[in-house]
Structure 1
Amino acid sequence: MTLMPDTRQILDQDAHLIQSFADLDALKAQGARTVISKAKGAHVWDSDGNKMIDGIGGLWCVNIGHGRDEMIEAIAGQLRELDYYSTFYNFTHPKAAALAEKIAQLSPGHLNKVFFSNSGSVANDSAIRMLHHYNIRKGRPEKRQVLSRIGAYHGSTYLAMAMTQPSNSVGWTSAADGLVHHLRSPHFWREGGEMSEAEFLDALILDLETSIDRIGAGNICAFIAEPIQGAGGVITAPAGYHRRAWEVCQANDIKYVADEVVTAFGRLGHMFASQDVFGMTPDIINTAKGLTSGYQPLAATIVSDEIHDVISAPDGYFLHGLTYSGHPAAAAAALTNIEIMEREQIPERVRTTGAYFEKRLRELSDIELVGEVRGSHFMMGIEFVKDRATKESHPDAAQVGPKVARACQKRGLIARPLGNVLILSPTLIMDEPMIDEIAGILRDAITEVAAGL
C-alpha cells in the first residue's frame, strides 16, 4: 500500500502557494485546506487517506476518469520521442498536426482550422484577438466590441475576465470599458418574473437586438456565450435561445463564439454541444478541459474556413502565439483521450447515465432548502433558498453552499460551492449505483445543513 504524504508538512509548504479563486485570508485557518494526494477512476484520496467521489471532475474536466494507464503511457511515450517543440513560425510536429485534423473532423460544419493554447481563458482571448485581426484585414477596424451576458464565465486572463459577469471583477480592474457589453442573464427561474418561458426568451432576444441597435452592428465583432453557463451557477437558457441568438448574429454580420470549454467532449452527451444539442453551428468554438480530460493543459480555438481565409490572406502575419501552443505531450494526451472516448462510447453512455444523474438530483427538489435544481446531464447546479415560494435567499446565503459542501465532503463526496449554489460536474464514467450514492450523500448533507440554519 502506498503511504500517504505527511499532511502537516504539505500544508506548511502550501503556505507559499496562492490558491485560485479562494478567500486567501480564510485559508490561513486550521483545517481550511484539503490536500488531494491520489486519484483513480471516479475517486480521489486526501493526504489522511480519506476516499472521496470526485463530484467536480477535478474542475469540470476529468471526463474519462483519473489514472488511466493508456493516457499516462501516451504522454510518457511522446516525451521520450519529442519532448517539446512549438507550432511556431514554420514548424509543426506529428501530434499537433494529427490532433488538428481530428478536431476538425469532429467539429460541426465549416469549423476546420484549429489554434492551440493552454487554457480556456487563453482560447477565449485568442478568439477575440483573431476577430479583431480579421476585421482589420477586412478594412473595418472599428468592428471590435463584444457582446457577453450577465452570469457568463469566460476565463481569468484580462480580456476573458472582462467578458465574464461584472461581479467577478469587483476589487479588480477590467478591460471591459468600451469593449464588452453584458446582456441580460438568461436565468428564467430568477429573472423571468411573471413571464412564461417563451415570453422570457422573446425578451432576451429583444435585449440582444436592442443592444445591437444601440451599439451599432458595424462596431460589434462577436457575441460570446457558453451553451450552459458554468461558473455563473450552471444556468440554462430557455429552449431555442442559442439558435435564435445565432440567427440574430448572422443577420447582423456578428460572429457567434461558443465557449464550449466545459460542454465539449462528452459532458452533455456529445463531442460538441453547439450543433448536436442546441441546433446551430457557431463561427468559432473554444474548448479545453475535457479535450485532454485534464491530464495535460491544452485548449483549442476552432475557427471557420471563412475566418481563416481572411487571416491567412497574402501580405500579412498572424502575430499571435504561445510558447506551449500544440505542446507534443498535450497533443498526444488529447488524441488518446479522444480515442478512449470514441472506443468506449463515453458521450453515448452519458446520454443515458447523465440523464439518470440529472433525474436523481432533481428529486432533491422536495427538500425545503432547495430552490432550484438545474443543468443538464453531468453539469448540474443546486440553488439553496430560505423561502422557495418567494425565492428569497438566506441572510448569510454565501455560506450555505460551503456548509453543504463540507457536509458532503465528510460523507465522501467533493462538490463545489458557489455562494448559495452547489455545483456537480463529475467524471463521465459513473454508473447508476455511484450516481445513487451521490444522490444519497447530497440528500443527507442538505438535510443536515437545513436543520442547522
Structure 2
Amino acid sequence: MPAEEMAKLGQSQKPLLAYGDGIYVVDSEGRRLIDGPGGMWCTQIGYNRREIADALAEQALRLSYNSPWYTINSPASELAERVAKETPGDLNRVFFTTGGSTAVDTALRFSEYYNNVLGRPEKKQIIVRREGYHGSTSLTAACSGRAGNWPNFDIASERITFISSPRFRPAKGLSEAEFLDELVQEFEQTIERIGPEKVAVFLAEPLLASGGVIIPPKGYHARMKEVCERHDIIYVSDEVVTGFGRCGEWFASEAVFGVVPDIITFAKGVTSGYVPLGGLAISEQLLARVSGANAKGGFFTNGYTYSGHPVSCAAAIANMDVIEKDGILDHVRELAPYFAERLIELKTLPCVVDVRASGLVGCVECMLDPDADEPTALDKRLGSLIDKHCFELGLIVRPLGNMCVMSPPLVITREEVDTMVDILRQGIVLATEDMRTSG
C-alpha cells in the first residue's frame, strides 16, 4: 500500500470497504461511514451511480481498447472536445494520460520538448512551491514540496527550485497585500538569480491541496502569471484536485483564482474515481510555436499504453453528463459558503488554530499549543487520534499530520454537511481529552 510503515510491513490492518452509496462507504463489519476526503479528492458524483457503470459496460463491449499510436476512438475524441469547451482561454488541445502524476509529468516533458525545438536547451529549470504536491513519478515527486515525502528517496534535482508557500499567516505582522508583494518579489528574485533564460516552468496548484488546503492571497496567480509572461516562462496550473467541480467550476484557474494558464493538468474528478484517467489541456498559442511550420521536423513522442483509453473516456463523458444533468456545479457554489461556515464554527475549540475552505474542500488545523509556530510530534498524534475517533463515530477523515482535510463527494447535502462537521467536532473533543489524560 502507499505510505506503508515498513517496520510493520505485513502486520498493519486497514479497514476493508465492502461497498459505497452516495457519500457513504460501508466496511466489512457493516459500519456506515461518510467519505470525508471524497476518496482521494475524487468521488465527485458519489458512489453507486448506475450511469457510470452502464457507460463502462457498454464501452467495454463495444471497444475495450485501441492503440493510441495508430488509431483513435470515439469516446476520447468526444471527451477531448467537451473538455476543450470548458477550459479557459485558448487551452483547446487535450492529451489524455493515466492519472494526475502522468498528466503533470507530461506537461513538464512538453516544456522540455518545447524549449529544445525553440533552440533553448538551457531553459529547463522548474520553479515550484513548498508544501505543494504534484505526483509520484521521479520528476513530479521532485517537484513536490512536502518534506515528509522525501526521506530515503533520491528526489532532489538541480533543475527544481522551491519558493515560499503562499500561506498567509496574520501573526507574522504583514497585511495580506504586503504578503502578496513579498511572494511576487521572491518569485522575481528567484528567476533573476537562476537566470530568466534558464527558467522553463512555474508549476502551481490553484490551492495547495495536500499541503493543507492553502489558499493564496487574492490576485496571487494573476501576478505570478504576469511575471511568467515577461520572462517567457510556461505557467502550468495543476488542477488535478480542483478540476471538475471541486471549487464549483469545471476548472478553477480562471473562474475562481483569476488566471488563464498556459497548461492545465487534470485527473481525479474527471471520472469521479470510477476508473483511472488524467490529462492536460495546452494553449493553442503555446503549441503554435512548435507545430506546423515551426515544427522543425520534431515528434512529441511522449505517451502511454492507456492514453485516451476508450472505457475510461466513456466513464468521463458519463460523469460530465451527470454533473450537468444534476446541476452539481450550481449545487457546489450554493453549498460552499455553508460548508465553510460550519467548519469555521470549529474555531471555538481550543486546539483548532485555523480553518481554510474553498468550494467543497476544507482543512481544520489543530495544535495543542495554539501559540506555537510549527506543529510538533504531539500535534501529529492528535491528528491520528481525531481520525480514530471520527472513524468510530461514522466519518472518514484524511489526517495530514495535525490537519484534518475534508473534500466530500460534491453531491453532499446541507444536512449531511451538518452530520459530518458535528462528528468532526466530537472527534476533536475526544482526541484532545485523550491527549490531556495521557499527558
TM-score of the two chains, using structure 1 as the length reference: 0.93
Aligned amino acid, residue 421 of structure 1: M
Distance 1:334 1:419 in 2: 33
SS of the aligned residue for 1:381 comes to: strand
1:56–1:414 CA contact under 8 A, matched in 2: yes
Distance change in 2, residues 1:390/1:398 (3 Å): closer
Distance 2:146 2:241 in 1: 20
Aligned amino acid, residue 450 of structure 1: T
* 1:207 matched to 2:186: yes
Residues 394-450 of structure 1: CA distance to partner in whole angstroms, max 9, x if unpaired? 552221211101110000000101111111111000111100001110111101111
Distance 2:146 2:377 in 1: 22
Residues 247-267 of structure 1: CA distance to partner in whole angstroms, max 9, x if unpaired? 111111111100000001111
Distance 2:146 2:381 in 1: 21
Residues 341-369 of structure 1: CA distance to partner in whole angstroms, max 9, x if unpaired? 11111111101112211110111000001
Please report how far the alpha carbon of residue 25 of structure 1 lies from its aligned counterpart in structure 2 after TM superposition: 3.2
2:118–2:290 CA contact under 8 A, matched in 1: no
2:387–2:398 CA contact under 8 A, matched in 1: yes
SS of the aligned residue for 2:123 comes to: coil
1:27–1:33 CA contact under 8 A, matched in 2: no
Given candidates 86, 97, 102, the residue that maps to 1:122 is 102
Residues 39-91 of structure 1: CA distance to partner in whole angstroms, max 9, x if unpaired? 11110011111110111111100000011001000010000000111322x41
Please report how far the alpha carbon of residue 29 of structure 1 lies from its aligned counterpart in structure 2 after TM superposition: 4.6
Counterpart for residue 110 of structure 1: 90
Distance 1:417 1:145 in 2: 33
Equivalences for residues 17-416 of structure 1 within 5 A: 19-26=1-8, 28-29=10-11, 32-88=13-69, 90-165=70-145, 167=147, 168-174=149-155, 176-189=156-169, 193-313=172-292, 314=295, 315-391=297-373, 393-416=375-398
Aligned amino acid, residue 223 of structure 2: R
Please report how far the alpha carbon of residue 110 of structure 1 lies from its aligned counterpart in structure 2 after TM superposition: 0.6
Distance 2:374 2:253 in 1: 33
Distance 1:343 1:202 in 2: 42
Distance 2:331 2:305 in 1: 37
Distance 1:344 1:157 in 2: 36
2:133–2:146 CA contact under 8 A, matched in 1: no
Superposed structure 1 runs of 4+ greater than 6 Å apart: none
Distance 1:86 1:450 in 2: 55
Residues 362-385 of structure 1: CA distance to partner in whole angstroms, max 9, x if unpaired? 110000011111121211111111
Please report how far the alpha carbon of residue 452 of structure 1 lies from its aligned counterpart in structure 2 after TM superposition: 1.8
> Larger deviation: 193-202 or 148-157?
193-202
Distance 2:5 2:394 in 1: 23
Residues 190-242 of structure 1: CA distance to partner in whole angstroms, max 9, x if unpaired? 8x612111111111111100000000111011100001101111111111111
Aligned amino acid, residue 252 of structure 1: H
CA-atom RMSD, angstroms? 1.4
Please report how far the alpha carbon of residue 27 of structure 1 lies from its aligned counterpart in structure 2 after TM superposition: 6.1
1:312–1:318 CA contact under 8 A, matched in 2: no
Percent identical: 40
TM-score of the two chains, using structure 2 as the length reference: 0.95
SS of the aligned residue for 1:228 comes to: coil
1:371–1:391 CA contact under 8 A, matched in 2: no
2:42–2:241 CA contact under 8 A, matched in 1: yes
SS of the aligned residue for 2:331 comes to: helix
Aligned amino acid, residue 194 of structure 1: G
Please report how far the alpha carbon of residue 287 of structure 1 lies from its aligned counterpart in structure 2 after TM superposition: 0.3
Distance 2:422 2:146 in 1: 36
> Larger deviation: 389-398 or 68-77?
389-398
Distance 2:161 2:287 in 1: 26
Question: Tell me, which stretches of 5 or more residues in structure 1 are unaligned?
Answer: 1-18
Distance change in 2, residues 1:35/1:311 (3 Å): farther
Distance change in 2, residues 1:214/1:225 (3 Å): same
SS of the aligned residue for 2:166 comes to: coil
